[in-house]
Structures are given as C-alpha cells and as structure tokens.
Amino acid sequence: MANNEINDTKRKNNKSAQSYWGEVLYRLRKNRMAMICLFILTIIIALCIIVPWVSPYGIETTNMDDAVRDQRPSEKHWLGTDKIGRDLFTRLFYAGRISLGVAIAVVFLECLIGVILGSLAGFYGGMVDVIIMRFAEIFLSFPFMIITITISAVFGNSISTLIFVLAILSWPSIARIVRGQILTLREMEYMEACEALGISDMRRIFKHLLPNVLAYVIVYATLGMASVILTETSLSFLGLGVSPPTPSWGNMIQEARNTLIIQQKWWYWIPPGICIFISVMCFNILGDGLRDAIDPKMKR
C-alpha cells in the first residue's frame, strides 16, 4: 500500500509540475498544419545551408558558351542557367540564405529594441511611458515603404542598411504588445512580493516579467518573418534591397520585369516565386499555430 501511495504521489507531482512550455509544445504538436509547415521550413533552411556548399557550381561561376547560357532545366542544371551561364539551382538556395538571413536579423533587432523599450514603458509608466510611446507613435506614422525606399536610395542598398532600416521602422509594434502585457503583470501579487523583498527593478523586469511575455514575442517574431521576407522581396525587386551580384529571392524575380522572360523563360522567376510563397505561407500558419498553442483559452 505504501509503495502504491508513493507512486500515485509521484504521478500527481509530475503532472502538476509539467512546465508551461511543455503544455505549449504538446498543443502545438496537435496542430497538424503547423507541424507540416515547421517541417517544410526546416527542409528549406537545410537546403539553403547545404546546397551552395555541396554544389559543383559557384554562385558566380559563369559560362558564356552559347550551349550553356539561357539553358532550360536539365540533368546538369536542375533549374537551368541565366543569361551569363550561372547555375540557377545553386543561386536559388544561396539567395534563400540571404532572404532568410535578412528576415532573422531584422526580426531579432526589432524584437530586441521593442522588448527593452516596451518593458521600460510598461514597468515605470509615467513620463517614461509617455516619451517611449510618443516615439513609437512617430515611427508608426511614417509611410513605411516610402521611408524605406528613400533611405535605401540615399544611403545605398546594402544588406546592412536594409536590416537597419527595417528594424528601426518596425520596433513600435512589438513594443506596444510588450508594454500592454507588462502593465497587467506588474500589478500581480508576486510582483508586490518582489518589491517587498527589495529586488532591483532590472531583475524584476528581466527575470520575473519578461519570461511571462516571451510567448507573445515568439508568436510576433514568427509572423514577422513572413512580413520581412515580403518587404525584402519587394525592395529587391525594385532594385533597392539586396543588390546584384549577391542573389536574393527578390532580385532573382527582378528578371520577370522583362515580358520575354515571363513568357518564355519561366525558370528565371517561378522557382524563387514558389520559395517566397511557401516560406511566407508556412511562417504565417506556424505563427497562427503558436498563437493557438500559447492561448490559455485553448488549454483543456
């Protein structure tokens, strides 16, 4: 009897001790579409890492032989070649490195800025909150694409400039989300206990408040990846994003501005277009799945 009671107690303790993230992961695994999209994104990222490394062709390896230039997909060149004989299969996945890398860098920087400023605004309130939120409203009032195009045109369309501009213009959204959550959490009883114990403000913010906001930041970051990919694609298509010869999905479909290529050379623009479509769709569906998994109302 004693052993049975001990085992029952252990099972109850294990069940009650199940972590919040364990429950989130359990609910996410139940979402079949989100898991399929996660699997597809994993494959795309793995290909972007592996293919340029193992390919026999370099991204700038040219071949001006008439038999190689503008070649349709074949056994040697799975996605054909461009007008100077470069292998488009290799360039496609190297371009994926650039497009996804830009998206990750932008989302990381905007979340870093937004989380810090949003936390300070929500925790301290008063004049700190007013100043930070007024700055956020100023940035939100800018016409996003026009400002981005203007800055890229003035300072040059390098990758670093693109990342900086997109991050600086995008942080207010996540800052407002974090601020709203902090305003609610700072009134909880455990925060009163932290204050009574004399715990410093920075420790209360970064150790006791931000971990409870992290779930919302992850959902925002996942959905933000899709938005940044589309923005980078649009700017690169216009010639104001990632500039050639460095390939990105956006400047690869730039060739589609030529009517002849649209009609007769589909291998120039359809593969990067498909990669953009699949990546954006998967990030959006995965973000929705994470939101449902994190939402307490979905908990059984």
Quick: pLDDT tens for 178-196.
Answer: 999 888 887 777 777 776 7
Total of domains in the chain: 1
What pLDDT sits at residue 18? 56
pLDDT for 235-251, tens place per residue?
A: 888 888 888 888 899 88
Confidence check: pLDDT of 17 > 50: no
In this structure, the dihedral spanned by the alpha carbons of residues 206, 124, 216 and 191, taken in order and rounded to 10 degrees, is 60
CATH number at residue 99: 1.10.3720.10
Q: Tell me what pLDDT residue 4 has.
A: 52
**Percent of the chain's residues with pLDDT above 70:** 90
Whether 63 maps to a domain, the answer reads: no
* Among the ranges given (115-119, 165-169, 224-228, 260-264), the one the predictor scored with the smallest mean pLDDT: 260-264
Domain membership flag for residue 285? yes
Whether residue 174 has pLDDT greater than 50: yes
pLDDT, residue 200, reads: 78
Query: Across all residues in the chain, what is the average pLDDT?
Result: 84
| Separation between Cα atoms, residue 25 and residue 15, nearest integer Å | 15
Answer whether residue 43 is part of any domain: yes
The encoded tokens of residue 174 equal 């996540």
Residue-wise pLDDT tens digits, 266-287: 888 999 999 999 999 999 999 9
Is there a contact between 59 and 94 (Cβ–Cβ < 8 Å)? yes
- Classify residue 29: in a domain, yes or no: yes
Domain boundaries, position 285: 21-56+81-298
226, pLDDT greater than 80: yes
pLDDT at 13 over 70: no
Q: Give a yes or no: residue 62 inside a domain.
A: no
Cα separation values, 15 from 11, 19, 47, 159, 262, Å: 6, 9, 39, 48, 58
Q: Which two tokens stand for residue 212?
A: 């409870």
What does pTM read for this prediction? 0.85
Tell me, yes or no, whether 282 lies in a domain: yes
Helix (H, G, I), strand (E, B) or coil at 81: strand
Instruction: With CA atoms as reference, report the closest residue to 122 among 179, 181, 202, 186.
Output: 179
Block residue for tokens 């309130």: 125
Q: What is the structure's pLDDT at 44?
A: 95
